[in-house]
Structure 1
Amino acid sequence: MRRILLVDNGSKRAASTLNLRRLAGLLSERIGEPVQPVSLLHSDHIDPEQLDGQPAETFTQALEQLLAADQRDLVLLPLFFGPTRALSRFIPESVSEVERRFGPCRLRIAPELCPLPEGEPRLVDILFDNLDQASREADIERASVVLVDHGSPNPEVNQVRRWLGARLAERLGPDVQLQEAVMERRPGSEYDFNGPLLEAVLDRIARKSHGPIRLSMLFLGPGRHAGPGGDIRDICDAIQTRHPELRLHIAPLVGTHPGLIDILLSRLSEAEDRPPIRPSAG
């Protein structure tokens, strides 16, 4: 019997793990079989008291326990927008290490949420819906948009935001200006493809106009950057302190939209046709 692992990158914030568990529960209800929520890193540092007394589980910990229990038919469902090195390097290397101690397994990795070149139009729908919700809550009809994500030194991951941004701009129409920004980027011109930092983009817009700005959040769950107490809220507060007339409105996260479960269901179905990540040594 297969075992499904819903995997995110991980965070030291309890809200991130709780959101991962919520998504796993919703997906489990839809497919009628268990879905195990695990993070690649960080979450095992969270105090279990913040997680309803249930410690968070990392991918390596979960894999060791599953193989020790002789559960070896595994499907990994990634909560990643693009082809990060976590999928291409970290996970295969972790599997190899665990297999050396516990024996081989059959692990299939489902496609990421927005596999290029086909992309995922339903993610555009989610971003559009979330912006619409932000507009209704703020009672604004039209406002410029900044699409912000974590940022990546990997051009292939950056292309996902570019693909989504181009199609979101089409949905918003010619009267709405859309710009893109990141929360992190490495110094050096070789990383200019990643785009400018969010604070610089917001400050530049505010110097030209005090019209309302909506932040389109290309984040799956709350963590260090997104969600209550995150860096994005701090940046917005700092910008509004410098430009009191500016109105900033943060849209909901992708991971809070019910449509994400439908995308995960599609990726899970596609995993059935994928070979294991490599032949296991017998």
Structure 2
Amino acid sequence: MTANANATPVGLDDEAVLLVGHGSRREKSNEQVRTLAAELEGRLGVPVDAGFLELAKPAIPDAIAGLAASVSRVTVVQLSLFAASHVKNDVPLAVREARSDHPELAIRAGAHLGVHPALVDILDDRAAAVEAELGANREEDDVAVVLCARGSSDPDANGDAHKLARLLYEGRAFDRVETSFVGVTEPRLDETLHAVAKHRPDAVVVLPYMLGDGMLTGRIRDGADEFDGAYPYVDVAAGDPLGTDTRLLDVLGDRWQEARTDSVDMSCDTCKYKVELDGYEEDVGGARAMLRALTHRESHADRDDVDEEPHAHDAPEKHVAVCTNQTCAADGSPAVLERLRQKARDSDACDARITRSSCLGRCGDGPVVAVYPDGVWYGGVDASDAERIVSSHLDGDRIVSDIVDQTL
């Protein structure tokens, strides 16, 4: 069911929504998130603010802090296409920390956009627009569609891209609908286009499965143009991204309703952080996933050159997380954190970022210090151990074995 566009739900006087976008160096993309937030506010009848995971302001913690002053409940709705690391790790980490910072505030977390009939309808309309541009008609001509997504290291996210392509194919007169990716995983767009060409369709519609008209959408368009030049017997063109299509509000409204009624449905049976999938065995483990989220957030570098590869990082050699949740804090973890930072500053060889974290799930074994990418966790750490952790492990890459709690 889609949230009612014409009625304000009962009991929402003290609730607000935070629409979370990824964030971009291109302000046009950030404005898209803000536009959708304003339109969603009109749809739901509750205040809706926009927040960003990275690269734009306000960040999620700042946005939640701003809402906390005027409401007692906040529902986080994610403007993410698929459930990859940002959805599974980074946003939950930010929400978890916000709950710790604002214990008086009830914060519910919603799911990503995912697979939804409204998204399939948008894709169908985008394809029809390209067909009209090419002078093709799927009822009379052999029209092939290539749905091109960003690509992820998470098989769950890539699987949903294939599912959307199949749903677009079902019940429609396309000759075929194939899935491709612009990066990270295979098949890549050029590979898929060359394979489709062997079937000699009359036209090929390339659909960028992106929210905004940014760098990756541009690459997809460039790929379609290059293919069109190389295959004169096939008419090829790329369509528009999802943009601010009002049908996105239907999806966001549903995700809001799911979150506020505690009925969020995540694909845990195919989540690489929860079950062992072939080729992804090393990713299993919630603690490992959370530390990966910490590392990503702390090491993301804001670059000025937008022509560089997206998501480049200026990461330190090691990342150290110190649990400062209630139990570890009572055992002295704040002193451990400050001593580690002091010893790291005093060292000429230390290339590490040292940050506080929320609970690492080892209550009673703390203070807990985790060092990544080594996957070494120290337990029962005293402030006096900080010098050994820095000089031996961070500087010399030698584990301080007598305080090792576990290795991941």
Does the TM-score normalized on the shorter chain lie above 0.5? yes
- Separation in 1, partners of 2:42, 2:70: 25
Aligned to 1:178: 177
Report the 3-state secondary structure (helix = DSSP H, G, I; strand = E; otherwise coil) of the residue aligned with 1:213.
strand
Aligned to 1:47: none
User: Deviation of residue 94 (structure 1)?
Assistant: 2.3
- Separation in 2, partners of 1:94, 1:77: 13
Aligned to 2:230: 242
The answer to whether the Cα contact below 8 Å between 1:148 and 1:198 also exists between their aligned partners in 2 is yes
Which ranges in structure 2 are unaligned for 5 or more consecutive residues?
1-13, 265-324, 327-408
The 5-angstrom pairing of residues 133-212 of structure 1 reads 133-142=129-138, 143-173=143-173, 176-186=175-185, 195-206=186-197, 209=200, 211-212=202-203
1:21-76 per-position Cα deviation (integer Å, ceiling 9, x unaligned): 2211211112223211222112x2xxxxxxxxxxx422233234444x37552111
Task: Name the CA shift for 1:268/1:94 in 2 (closer, same or farther; >3 Å).
Answer: closer
The answer to whether the Cα contact below 8 Å between 1:60 and 1:94 also exists between their aligned partners in 2 is yes
Task: Name the CA shift for 1:11/1:171 in 2 (closer, same or farther; >3 Å).
Answer: farther
Task: Name the CA shift for 1:29/1:79 in 2 (closer, same or farther; >3 Å).
Answer: same
Aligned to 1:258: 246
User: Deviation of residue 275 (structure 1)?
Assistant: 8.1
Q: Report the more deviating stretch, 99-108 or 208-217.
A: 99-108
The answer to whether the Cα contact below 8 Å between 1:40 and 1:60 also exists between their aligned partners in 2 is no
User: Deviation of residue 122 (structure 1)?
Assistant: 2.5
Aligned to 1:6: 19
Residue 224 of structure 1 pairs with residue 215 of structure 2: yes
Which ranges in structure 1 are unaligned for 5 or more consecutive residues?
45-55, 187-194
> What CA RMSD, in Å, does the superposition of the two structures yield over aligned residues?
2.7
Report the 3-state secondary structure (helix = DSSP H, G, I; strand = E; otherwise coil) of the residue aligned with 2:77.
strand
Aligned to 2:285: none
The 5-angstrom pairing of residues 111-150 of structure 1 reads 111-114=111-114, 119-142=115-138, 143-150=143-150
Which letter does structure 2 place at the counterpart of 1:251?
G
Report the 3-state secondary structure (helix = DSSP H, G, I; strand = E; otherwise coil) of the residue aligned with 1:136.
helix
- Separation in 1, partners of 2:250, 2:260: 16
The answer to whether the Cα contact below 8 Å between 2:204 and 2:237 also exists between their aligned partners in 1 is yes
Which letter does structure 2 place at the counterpart of 1:133?
A
- 1 or 2 for the larger relative contact order (CA 8 Å, sep ≥6)? 1
Task: Name the CA shift for 1:70/1:275 in 2 (closer, same or farther; >3 Å).
Answer: farther
Which letter does structure 1 place at the counterpart of 2:30?
T
User: Deviation of residue 6 (structure 1)?
Assistant: 0.9
Report the 3-state secondary structure (helix = DSSP H, G, I; strand = E; otherwise coil) of the residue aligned with 2:215.
coil
The total of aligned residue pairs comes to 249
Identity of aligned residues (%): 26
Report the 3-state secondary structure (helix = DSSP H, G, I; strand = E; otherwise coil) of the residue aligned with 1:271.
helix
TM normalised by structure 2 equals: 0.55
Q: Pick one of 208, 221, 227 that aligns with 1:233.
A: 221
Higher share of residues assigned helix:
1
User: Deviation of residue 254 (structure 1)?
Assistant: 2.3
- Separation in 2, partners of 1:196, 1:155: 13
Aligned to 2:35: 22
Q: Pick one of 41, 51, 65 that aligns with 2:54.
A: 41
1:68-108 per-position Cα deviation (integer Å, ceiling 9, x unaligned): x3755211111123322222211232234455556564221
1:177-214 per-position Cα deviation (integer Å, ceiling 9, x unaligned): 1111001125xxxxxxxx30112222343466373210
